[in-house]
Amino acid sequence: MGILPLIFSLFFVGCEKASVENDASSDLTGLVILNNGNWGDNNGSVMAYDAVLQDFTDVFKSANNKALGDLGQDILVLGDDIYISVQGSQVIFVCDCNFRVKKEIKVSDSEGNQLSPNYFAASADKVYVTLYEGWLGEIDPSEDYAVRITEVGPNPVGLACVSGKIYVANSGGYVQYYYNNTLSVVDETSFKEVSTIEVNVNPQTVVANSSGNLLYVSSLGNYGDMAPKLEVVNLSDGSVHSTSYSGVSEIARGADDTLYILCGGYDSSWNPLPGTVYAHNMALNSGKGVFSEIKFEKAYKISADSRTGNVFVTASDYKTNGDVYVLDRSGKLLSKFDSRGLNPVKALFL
Amino acid sequence: MPQCAPEDTLRVAVVAAEREALRNDPAPVRVLTAEGIGRSGATSLDEALRMFSGVSVKDYGGVGGLKTVSVRNLGSQHTVVIYDGAVISDAMNGSADIGRFNLDGVSSVRVSLGGTSDIFQTPRQQLSAASLVIGTAPAVFGKSPVQAAVRLGVGAFGTWSPYLLYRHRLAPGWALTASADYVYSRGNYPYTFKNGGLVIKKTRECSDVSSLRTEIGTSGDMGRAGTLSVKALFNASCRGLPGSVVYYADNPRERLWDRNLLTSALWNWNGADLWKVRTSVGWTRSFSRYLDTDPVWKEPRKDEYLQNEGSVSALVMFGPVKGFSVSAGEDFFVNTLSTSLEDCPFPTRFSSMTSLFASWSCKRLTLNAGAVLTCVREMVRTGQGASPVNRISPSLSLSWRLSERENLVLRASVKDGFRMPTFNDLYYARVGNRSLTPEKALQVNLGLVWGRTIGCWDLGLALDAFFNRVRDKIIAIPTMFIWRMRNAGLVNMAGADFDSRVRVQAISWMDVRLDGSYSLNYAVDVTDPESKNYAHQIPYTPLHCGNATLSVTTPWVSLSYILSACGKRYSSAQNIPENRMEPYADHSLSLFREFSLGRSGHYFLRLSAQVRNLGGKNYEIVRYYPMPGLNWRIEMKFSFR
């Protein structure tokens, strides 16, 4: 009985599937993946596609001869700079286009506590970063990446810059027992919180449409009686409206003012359900239906490249290397590959 | 050929005790006696356990680091820890921290695994895949009605460990024992780590511990009415939790306070060699407080946990005819948990375990068979309690001496045990799953034990091959929103433990022993054929590991050298280079001597010095938790008896 699978497993250990299942027409050159890693394991990584090896390699490690660190959270390209936030390691790396570190930014509050960087958003000339201890940071590339911070709500995560204001989602994930339900509105010039907007509990990601009048906010709820939601904030009057998507876990801004929505959930015996991706017209605030027919098993995160129009869906079981699906703007699968790291959070073409 | 030392009665007794270490019970048992503990130079329980094959200690490093024990990769929740008849339980986490035990006053450390070695064991012990039993010796008084000992240990990284023992003969056969054992360690050991080309040289922070352990008890021989032992143990500790080493950041801010009280009364009775009875009652109260001052929390996070366990146990063995005996046992215990956490349902668990075993032995064959019936019911203050559990766990083991003349024994055992889901598995806020069922562990063992005395050489060999299978393994499964505990794992394990011992006493004043063991462990996750870790070796399981102990005892000074070596293993589920952990070897050397002071023969002084991790490398047992490098300890113990 028990010995049979054991013997079989002995034979199969050596075999491994090809890591990249590629459509011949698609070129992955320039594709970069950020792997979050696992908390406390120092295994965040930036992987770049190597056309010669036809595989992904740790480009940050090979460029700097050191690892990225613990929890690679976000990656942002502004001008010639690549910003990477490493939350557990409490560091922001500013790299050149070859991922060589040109600046290591450590942010601390007035009491000297190191702060943990989360997500980025860029205005025309500044980079904003949420700091998990309850702050928003502003990085000024023209002043040797000087940072100033301002207080926002508890445990801020996603953020968006819209016409002189920064909207910050205060998740409150670490306020014992209670999640937060606000967005902080920070004025760019005064760099102070000027107001707050009430949304569903545990807001995560904030995306503005191109005309800057609507703000899309995804929230995870309290994992109990309050469900996750996708809400729309009308910035002209401050009103908040719910959308009809259920089981919303992640959203991403794509090309042509399209919002991609990853939805999932679990069945009654806690089996995770596969993820579904929907497309939403952000200008008209109207649904465009299911974006891709693929049922994404172990779906984890979604990101999109507004320049190329590609949509990236990642999958993870949190214990083995993840997978990345590359889709074109019509939802067709171009490529699927192993992310060569744990918990791929974001992909982009450089 | 050298002259063999003349036999004397004392030595015969010692040899008899020592042979315990390679026992030929129907299932594997590893034993270390007081003698063996003294000779090894080990001062803490985890050091002693490292010498056992098939037994591994998960160690987060430092004096205060959590240390749990597991057997043949079954997970520490499958090991029950028993101290002087009382179970050291933790229904919340399921595994006991053995770091709190030192070896002063301990007369035996015994680990049983793989099956039923003995039918006179409590049902709780029979059910567990493995048991670690720590025993203390009853006081034996000479002329003086008082015995006392004072010890002071000093070690590297600001470690101080004073110990006091007092024993008093209250009446013939009755003794009062009180002891206090304190450990303080700053734990600020330096470590060197490599992050690519970057060399990190730092000092472990927030790794301090201060721990007090007191024990008071009385035991007495009531003649025909049996023996009675009543004791209370109180532990209090405060420690920093240094966390894993995080690249580019290092600011641990977690602390843990523990207070626990264990009381027990144990009564043993033997009737005319026909009956053997052991009953006990016990109560344990464990309180712990956790503090995290990380500024990511708006308010510092303070959690409090209070657990209670009340237990009664009875065990009877009846041997009506020579070579045949039956035993019946009942363990009934109640566990409660209350926490300051959100949604704590305040669970109460009632467990009943009933065992029935029989043992039959004729000239060369011993056969043990039986089963444990477990019934568990759970009540909660809010919502629905966990599903009831009713299970029968059978066990069968035999040993067969293959030859009349040769001490060569074949043993075989099968045991189908399980572990209950812990309170955390069931009820931890959002993650817990109340519909969990027990995690089952099937163990099969087949072994050969051989021993022989040739002149002044005493040799022993044991080889055990095993197959274990864990079904319905309780693991956390992620969904896009939240993790849930599920019965979703399937792990197959196959391996072998090899033990050897050699003892030479070629000259009367020198005793040399060399014990070696090697374990082969193939343990693969076969849960999901689609998964990237299918058929991969499970985390923290080296394919090869082993240890060797050399001890040389002379009247002037005694020496002990312990080597433990561990092959490559993986820190996570997938066997890829990123998760690979390099092999390590830990060498330690102890020198000690006991002096008799004055002519009265009542005063003794033992001096010992130990150097650990001679290689000096900060190897890791748990990834990113570096172990201390080269470190030392000296100890002075003065005793009166």
pLDDT of B27-39, one tens digit each? 999 999 988 898 8
Tell the burial category of B321 from Cβ atoms under 10 Å away from its Cβ (0-12, 13-18, 19+): exposed
> How close does chain A come to B425, measured CA to CA in Å?
14
* pLDDT, position A14: 37
Q: What count of residues does chain A have?
A: 350
Q: How confident is the model at residue B359 (pLDDT cuts 50, 70, 90)?
A: very high
The partner residue sitting opposite B573, judged by closest CB among A12, A272, A319, is A319
From B301, which residue of chain A is nearest by alpha-carbon distance?
A: A176
Question: A73-116, pLDDT tens digit by residue?
Answer: 999 999 999 999 999 999 999 999 999 999 999 999 999 999 99
The helix/strand/coil state of B10 is helix
The token pair at B136 is 């203390």
Distance CA B111, CA B369 (A): 20
Distance CA B434, CA B454 (A): 59
User: Region B405-431: what's the mean pLDDT?
Assistant: 92
For residue A250, the cross-strand partners are A262
Q: How confident is the model at residue A26 (pLDDT cuts 50, 70, 90)?
A: low
Residues of A in contact with B533 (CB under 8 A): 319-320
Distance CA B69, CA B130 (A): 10
From B573, which residue of chain A is nearest by alpha-carbon distance?
A: A319
The token pair at B479 is 């969904």
The token pair at B580 is 């690979």
The letter for the amino acid at A59 is: V
The partner residue sitting opposite B249, judged by closest CB among A88, A262, A338, is A88
Backbone angles phi, psi at B53, to 5 degrees: -80, 145
CATH entry, A107-242, from 3.40.30.10, 3.30.499.10, 2.130.10.10, 1.10.10.60: 2.130.10.10
Nearest Cα to Cα of residue B347 among B395, B379, B313, B315:
B379
User: Region B222-239: what's the mean pLDDT?
Assistant: 94
Which residues fall within 8 angstroms of residue B581, CB to CB, at 6 or more apart?
B568, B569, B570, B571, B620, B623
Question: B371-391, pLDDT tens digit by residue?
Answer: 999 999 999 998 889 999 999
From B524, which residue of chain A is nearest by alpha-carbon distance?
A: A6
User: Region B618-632: what's the mean pLDDT?
Assistant: 94
Which residues fall within 8 angstroms of residue B400, CB to CB, at 6 or more apart?
B364, B365, B366, B409, B410, B411
From B571, which residue of chain A is nearest by alpha-carbon distance?
A: A41
User: Region B44-69: what's the mean pLDDT?
Assistant: 89
pLDDT greater than 90 at residue B64: no
Q: How confident is the model at residue B273 (pLDDT cuts 50, 70, 90)?
A: confident
The partner residue sitting opposite A41, judged by closest CB among B297, B534, B623, is B623
From B475, which residue of chain A is nearest by alpha-carbon distance?
A: A319
* pLDDT, position A105: 98
Handedness of CA A43, A44, A50, A55 (dihedral sign): positive
The residue with tokens 């490529």 is: A335
Residues of A in contact with B578 (CB under 8 A): 43, 341
Contact B296 A175 (CB under 8 A): no
Question: B173-186, pLDDT tens digit by residue?
Answer: 899 999 999 999 99
Question: B539-568, pLDDT tens digit by residue?
Answer: 999 999 999 999 999 999 999 999 999 999
Nearest Cα to Cα of residue B387 among B437, B351, B344:
B437
pLDDT greater than 90 at residue A47: yes
What is the pTM for the complete model shown?
0.91
Tell me which architecture the domain covering B11-640 has in CATH: Beta Barrel (2.40)
Residues of B in contact with A10 (CB under 8 A): 535
User: Region B313-321: what's the mean pLDDT?
Assistant: 95
> How close does chain B come to A212, measured CA to CA in Å?
29
* pLDDT, position B5: 38
Summary mean pLDDT of chain A: 91
Residues of B in contact with A272 (CB under 8 A): 477-480
Contact A133 B572 (CB under 8 A): no
Spacing of C-alpha B467 from chain mean position: 21
- When mean pLDDT is compared across A134-148, B126-140, B457-471, the lowest value belongs to B126-140
The partner residue sitting opposite A3, judged by closest CB among B247, B467, B534, is B467
Instruction: Answer whether B413's CB lies under 8 Å from B115's CB.
Output: yes
Q: What count of residues does chain B have?
A: 641
Q: How confident is the model at residue B68 (pLDDT cuts 50, 70, 90)?
A: very high
Residues of A in contact with B433 (CB under 8 A): 270
Contact A320 B573 (CB under 8 A): yes
Most confidently modeled of B3-7, B220-224, B276-280? Answer: B276-280
Contact A320 B469 (CB under 8 A): no
Question: B95-116, pLDDT tens digit by residue?
Answer: 889 987 888 889 999 999 988 8
Pairing relation of β-strands B536-537 and B569-570? unpaired
> How close does chain B come to A19, measured CA to CA in Å?
11
The residue with tokens 């079904």 is: B471
* pLDDT, position A23: 58
Question: B569-589, pLDDT tens digit by residue?
Answer: 999 999 999 999 999 999 999
pLDDT greater than 50 at residue A254: yes
Q: Is residue B580 less than 8 Å (CB to CB) from chain A?
A: no
From B248, which residue of chain A is nearest by alpha-carbon distance?
A: A89
Residues of B in contact with A317 (CB under 8 A): 478, 531-532
Distance CA A314, CA A344 (A): 6
From A154, which residue of chain B is nearest by alpha-carbon distance?
A: B298
Residues of A in contact with B540 (CB under 8 A): none
User: Region B14-35: what's the mean pLDDT?
Assistant: 71
User: Region B460-489: what's the mean pLDDT?
Assistant: 89
pLDDT greater than 70 at residue A16: no
Summary mean pLDDT of chain B: 91
Handedness of CA B66, B72, B73, B78 (dihedral sign): negative
pLDDT greater than 90 at residue B626: yes
Distance CA B372, CA B119 (A): 11
A6, A61, A131, A337, best to mutate vs chain B, most B CBs in 10 Å: A6
The helix/strand/coil state of B250 is coil
From B429, which residue of chain A is nearest by alpha-carbon distance?
A: A177
Residues of A in contact with B536 (CB under 8 A): 13
Q: Is residue B486 less than 8 Å (CB to CB) from chain A?
A: yes
User: Region B252-256: what's the mean pLDDT?
Assistant: 93
Nearest Cα to Cα of residue B396 among B443, B433, B428, B460:
B443
* pLDDT, position B22: 67
Domains of chain A by residue range: 107-242, 247-337
Distance CA A6, CA B444 (A): 15
